Chain A
Amino acid sequence: MTITQHQAGPLPAKLQLREDGSLRHFLSIEGLPRQTLIDILDTAESFVSVHAQSVKKVPLLRGKTVVNLFFEPSTRTRTTFELAAKRLSADVLNLNIATSATTKGESLLDTLRNIEAMFCDMFIVRHADSGAAHFIARHVAPHIAVLNAGDGQHAHPTQGMLDVFTIRKHKGDFTRLKVAIVGDILHSRVARSQIHALNILNTNEVRVIAPKTLLPADVEKLGVHVYHDMNEGLKDVDVVIMLRLQRERMQNALLPSEHEFFQFYGLTNERLKLAREDAIVMHPGPANRGVEIASDVADGPQSVILEQVSNGIAVRMAIMSMVMGAQQ
Chain B
Amino acid sequence: MSILIQNGRVIDPANGVDEVTNLYIEDDRIVAVGDTPIDFEADETIDASGQWVIPGLVDLGARLREPGQEHKGTIASETRAAASAGITSIACLPNTDPAIDSPAAVDFVCQQAEDAGYAEVHVIGAMTQGLEGKALSDMAALKKMGCVGVSQQLTPGNDLQVLRNAMDYAASQGLTVYFHPEAYSLAEGGCAHEGAIATRMGLKSIPEAAETAALGVLIALVEQTGAHTHFCRLSTARGANMVRRARMDGLPVSADIAAHQAFLTEMDISDFNALCHVRPPLRTDRDMQALRDGLADGSIEVLCSDHQPHEADAKLAPFPATEPGISGLETLLPLALRLHEDDILSLEQAISLVTSKPARILGIDTGTLGKGKLANICILDPDHSWHFDSATMLSAGKNSPFDGWPFKGKVIRTMLAGETVYEA
Q: Are B401 and A130 within 8 A (Cβ)?
A: no
Contact of B201 among A6, A108, A130, A221 (CB under 8 A): A130
**Measured between alpha carbons, how far is A153 from B320 in the docked complex, in Å?**
11
A6 touches B319 (CB 8 A): no
With A130-B320, A189-B202 known to touch, is A135 a contact of B313 (CB < 8 Å)? no
Q: Is A91 an interface residue (CB 8 A)?
A: no
B401 A6 Cβ-Cβ under 8 A = yes
**Secondary structure class of chain B's binding surface, majority of residues:** loop
Interface residues of B in 267-323 (CB under 8 A from A): 268, 270-273, 313, 316-321
Distance in angstroms between the alpha carbons of A135 and B274 in the assembled complex: 10
Find out whether the CB atom of A222 lies under 8 angstroms from the CB atom of B199: yes
* In contact, B319 and A130 (Cβ under 8 angstroms): yes
A153 touches B319 (CB 8 A): no
How far apart are A58's CB and chain B's nearest CB, in angstroms?
A: 34
CB within 8 Å of A: which B355-413 residues: 401-406
Q: Determine whether the beta carbon of A134 is less than 8 Å from that of B272.
A: yes
Complex contacts, A130 vs chain B, CB 8 Å: 201-203, 272, 318-320
Task: Indicate whether B26 reaches chain A with its CB closer than 8 angstroms.
Answer: no
B341 proximal to A (CB < 8 A): yes
Contact A127 B318, CB 8 Å, known A2-B341, A218-B195:
yes
* Contact between A129 and B271, CB atoms less than 8 A apart: no
Residue in A6, A10, A30, A139 whose CB lies within 8 Å of B200: A30
A109 near B199: Cβ-Cβ < 8 Å:
no
A30 to B200 CA separation, bound complex (whole angstroms):
9
Q: Is B229 an interface residue (CB 8 A)?
A: no
- Contacting A222 at CB < 8 Å: which of B200, B405, B406? B200
A197 to chain B, nearest CB (A): 14
Contact with B along A1-32 (1 / 0, CB 8 A): 11110111111100000000000000000100
- The smallest beta-carbon distance between B328 and chain A, in angstroms, is 14
Which residue from chain A places its CB closest to the CB of B406 in the assembled complex? Answer: A4
**How far apart sit A9 and B404, CA to CA, in the bound complex (Å)?**
13
Closest chain A residue, CB of each to CB of B341: A2
Complex partner residue of B319 from A7, A30, A129, A219, CB under 8 angstroms: A129
Contact of A155 among B196, B202, B401, B405 (CB under 8 A): B202
* Cα–Cα distance between A7 and B342 once the two chains are bound (Å): 19
Q: Which of A118-161 contact B (CB under 8 A)?
A: 127, 129-132, 134-135, 139, 151-155
* A217 interface residue (CB < 8 Å to B): yes
Q: In whole angstroms, how far apart are the Cα atoms of A9 and B313 in the complex?
A: 18
CB-defined contacts of A285 to chain B, threshold 8 Å: none
A217 touches B404 (CB 8 A): no
Q: Are A192 and B342 in contact (CB under 8 A)?
A: no
A6 touching B405 in the complex, CB below 8 Å, given contacts A130-B318, A192-B202:
yes
Closest to B205 in A: A217
> Does B207 interact with chain A (Cβ within 8 Å)?
yes
In the bound complex, what is the Cα–Cα distance between A218 and B342 (angstroms)?
31
Measured CA separation A154–B192 after assembly (Å)? 13
A residues near B321, Cβ cutoff 8 Å: 108, 129
- Return chain B residues, CB-CB under 8 Å to A189: 202
Judge if A216 is at the interface, Cβ distance under 8 Å.
yes
- A1–B343 contact, CB under 8 A? yes
Interface bits A199-236 vs B (CB < 8 Å: 1, else 0): 00000000000000000111101100000000000000
Are the CB atoms of B318 and A108 closer together than 8 Å? yes
| B-chain residues with CB within 8 Å of residue A216 when the two chains form the complex | 198-199, 205
A54 CB within 8 Å of chain B = no
Asked if B182 is an interface residue, CB under 8 A from chain A, the answer is: no
Q: Report A-chain residues with C-beta under 8 Å of the C-beta of B401.
A: 6
Chain A 51-64: CB-based contact to B (< 8 A → 1; otherwise 0): 00000000000000
A221 touches B199 (CB 8 A): yes
Complex partner residue of A131 from B199, B272, B402, CB under 8 angstroms? B272
Chain B nearest CB, measured from A200 CB (Å): 14
When chains A and B are docked, how far (Å) is the Cα of A8 from the Cα of B272?
Answer: 10
Docked pose: A131 CA to B403 CA in angstroms: 22
Query: In whole angstroms, what is the CA distance A109 to B271 when docked?
Result: 19
Apart from A134-B272, A221-B200, 17 more pairs, CB < 8 Å: A107-B313, A129-B321, A130-B201, A130-B202, A130-B318, A134-B271, A135-B272, A135-B317, A153-B202, A153-B203, A154-B201, A192-B202, A216-B205, A217-B194, A218-B199, A222-B196, A222-B200
Interface of B with A (CB < 8 Å)?
194-196, 198-205, 207, 263, 268, 270-273, 313, 316-321, 341-343, 401-406
Question: What are 28 contact pairs spanning A and B, CB under 8 A?
Answer: A3-B263, A3-B342, A4-B405, A6-B268, A6-B402, A7-B404, A9-B272, A30-B200, A108-B318, A109-B316, A129-B319, A130-B203, A130-B318, A130-B319, A131-B318, A132-B318, A134-B272, A135-B272, A135-B318, A139-B316, A151-B202, A151-B318, A152-B203, A152-B320, A153-B202, A189-B202, A216-B199, A219-B199
Which 6 pairs from chain A and chain B are nearest by CB? A154-B202, A153-B202, A129-B318, A216-B199, A131-B272, A132-B318
